[in-house]
């Protein structure tokens, strides 16, 4: 979905607390991106998701899931069984966001060679003064 000129102007103008800007920050955060992409495959239990993502603390994953749930992107399904079972999945809105984030991740991976060349050229130019 294209961004309207009005929305782009608000973002550029630095309207720090605009609701869509906060959602953008949640979706594109370090762990938000990984959670959304991982949940595209299937629902996960908390511990499974933590292992699948790797190197995320329990606290950070909990905060990320709560934030994405509050934004309506993640669904938390707590089953009243013993031991308790909680599954996390994407809502329709979350799936839409996750597909956009995954497309950016795929693009990044496919263009990494060009990024590395640009970095080398930049670093070389900087080192020459």
Global confidence as pTM:
0.82
Contact 89, 75 (CB under 8 A): yes
How much is the pLDDT for 2? 56
Taking every pair of Cα atoms in the chain, the longest distance, rounded to a whole number of angstroms, is 65
Span between the terminal Cα atoms of the chain, in Å: 43
pLDDT digits (tens, 9 = 90+) for 25-44: 999 999 999 999 999 999 99
CA distances from 19 to 28, 63, 114 (A): 14, 18, 34
Q: Cα separation of 97 and 7, whole Å?
A: 18
SS3 110: helix
pLDDT digits (tens, 9 = 90+) for 44-71: 999 999 999 999 999 999 999 999 999 9
């Amino acid at each position: 979905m294209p961004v309207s000129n009005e929305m782009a102007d608000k973002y550029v103008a630095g309207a720090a607390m605009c609701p869509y800007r906060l959602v953008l920050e949640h979706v594109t955060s370090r762990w938000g991106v990984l959670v959304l992409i991982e949940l595209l495959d299937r629902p996960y239990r908390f511990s499974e998701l933590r292992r699948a993502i790797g190197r995320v603390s329990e606290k950070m994953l909990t905060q990320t899931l709560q934030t994405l749930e509050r934004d309506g992107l993640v669904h938390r399904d707590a089953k009243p069984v013993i031991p308790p079972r909680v599954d996390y999945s994407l809502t329709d809105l979350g799936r839409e966001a996750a597909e956009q984030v995954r497309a950016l991740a795929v693009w990044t991976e496919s263009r990494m060679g060009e990024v590395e060349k640009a970095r080398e050229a930049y670093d070389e130019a900087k080192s020459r003064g």
